[in-house]
């Protein structure tokens, strides 16, 4: 007779399932902007283990070619797969617009992307005019065009590319004179055209939300996508029975592809915690 395992109630498949469930979720962005998404994920799903990759060395993606962004996204995804992730969150509008399809084609785990919140923006606007702030590549993307056609047929969508803003967040210049000048340049024309809602179509911009709000005024609604992405991740993990059943707080591991000290300092300040950041060598 074969000896029964000590915990006979737990089968091999239960154990395999538990170890998959406790595996980390991978989250990446061209830089530190995706921390605005990571904080919402951590708030909603505190028991999940998370790995965050800031590709600061190669930011901004918004000025790069499609091929470049796809290649970087695949390299980062492969690094995360070696860490055994159970799901991947592309916490970057630009990488979602340019690379989410190829990631979904090549990966066998669920991949969650994000996109500018056109649909909620249309619902919230009273003037029927909304502004979208995003990187050049997101603004030009087919994805944004399709979203606009689908959800905003009766709303005027003013799509504003914002070169330079990602760099301001990467440098932690959230309220500097130059940053405010750039924000004025990008937002005031939207207000002149009667926009009452501004969509932050780049995950770096929530870190500028306070500065944007003081410039455009408190009456203008500002929408970001961190929370809906966290909710989508929660739905997906439940659907595939991948949610971590542990009641302990999850661990978060941080990587940055840039070894410049300033990036680590900025990352700590944006995360509001004294975190350890490893160098990403891919
Ligand atoms: N956080 C990225 C996004 O959401 C910024 C892209 C970039 O690096 O240009 O689009």
* Res 8: pLDDT: 43
Identify whether 60 is preceded by a cis peptide bond (ω within 30 of 0).
yes
Query: Are residues 236 and 220 part of one domain?
Result: no
* Ligand 1 atom index nearest CA of 91: 4
Query: Are residues 220 and 122 part of one domain?
Result: yes
* Ligand 1 atom index nearest CA of 63: 9
Q: Where on the phi/psi map is residue 20: left (φ > 0), alpha (ψ -120 to 50), or beta?
A: alpha
Query: Are residues 232 and 208 part of one domain?
Result: no
Domain contains 267: yes
Q: Is the dihedral of CA 175, 176, 182, 184 positive or negative?
A: positive
Q: Where on the phi/psi map is residue 29: left (φ > 0), alpha (ψ -120 to 50), or beta?
A: beta
Of 194, 209, 224, the residue at which a domain comes to its end is 224
31, 199, 225, best to mutate for ligand 1 pocket (most atoms within 8 Å of CB): 31
Query: Are residues 252 and 177 part of one domain?
Result: no
Give the CATH number, domain containing residue 36: 3.40.50.1860
Domain contains 203: yes
Per DSSP bridges, beta strands 25-29 and 87-90 are: parallel
Given the residues 53, 54, 202, 233, the one annotated as active site: 202
| Residue 78 contacts residue 63 (beta carbons within 8 Å) | no
Given the residues 45, 92, 95, 114, the one annotated as active site: 92
**Residue 153 contacts by C-beta under 8 Å, 6 or more apart in sequence?**
none
Domain span at 81: 24-114+227-279
Domain contains 42: yes
Query: Are residues 82 and 38 part of one domain?
Result: yes
pTM of the full structure: 0.92
Query: Are residues 213 and 81 part of one domain?
Result: no
Domain contains 30: yes
Query: Are residues 245 and 216 part of one domain?
Result: no
* Res 9: pLDDT: 54
- What's the CA-to-centroid distance between 46 and ligand 1, angstroms? 25
205 CB under 6 A from ligand 1?
no
Domain contains 157: yes
pLDDT truncated to tens, each residue of the chain (282 aa)? Answer: 333 343 445 566 665 576 789 999 999 999 999 999 999 999 999 999 999 999 999 999 988 999 999 999 999 999 999 999 999 999 999 999 999 999 999 999 999 999 899 999 999 999 999 999 999 999 999 999 999 999 999 999 999 999 999 999 999 999 999 999 999 999 999 999 999 999 999 999 999 999 999 999 999 999 999 999 999 999 999 999 999 989 999 999 999 999 878 888 999 999 998 899 999 988
* Res 1: pLDDT: 34
DSSP, res 206: G
* Res 175: pLDDT: 96
**Bridge partner residues of 134 (DSSP):** 161
117 CB under 6 A from ligand 1?
no
Per the structure, how many domains does the chain have? 2
């Amino acid at each position: 007779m074969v000896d029964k395992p000590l915990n006979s109630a737990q089968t091999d498949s239960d154990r395999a399932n538990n170890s998959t469930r406790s595996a980390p979720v991978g989250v990446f962005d061209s830089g530190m902007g995706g921390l605005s998404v990571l904080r919402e994920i951590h708030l909603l799903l505190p028991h999940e283990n998370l790995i965050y990759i800031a590709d600061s060395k190669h930011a901004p993606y918004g000025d790069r070619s499609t091929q470049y962004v796809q290649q970087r996204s695949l390299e980062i995804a492969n690094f995360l797969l070696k860490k055994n992730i159970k799901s991947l969150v592309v916490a970057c509008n630009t990488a979602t617009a340019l690379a989410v399809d190829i990631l979904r084609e090549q990966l066998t785990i669920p991949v969650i992307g994000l996109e500018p919140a056109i649909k909620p923006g249309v619902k919230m606007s009273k003037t029927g005019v909304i502004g979208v702030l995003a990187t050049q590549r997101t603004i030009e993307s087919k994805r944004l065009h399709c979203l606009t056609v689908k959800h905003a047929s009766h709303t005027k969508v003013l799509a504003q590319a914002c070169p330079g803003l990602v760099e301001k967040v990467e440098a932690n210049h959230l309220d500097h004179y130059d940053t405010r000048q750039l924000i004025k340049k990008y937002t005031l024309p939207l207000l002149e055209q009667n926009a009452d809602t501004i969509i932050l179509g780049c995950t770096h911009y929530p870190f500028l939300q306070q500065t944007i709000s003081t410039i455009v005024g408190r009456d203008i609604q500002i929408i970001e996508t961190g929370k809906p992405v966290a909710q989508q991740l929660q739905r997906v993990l439940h659907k595939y029975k991948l949610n971590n059943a542990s009641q302990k707080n999850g661990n978060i591991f941080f990587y940055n592809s840039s070894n410049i000290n300033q990036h680590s300092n900025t990352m700590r300040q944006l995360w509001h915690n004294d975190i350890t950041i490893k160098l990403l060598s891919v």
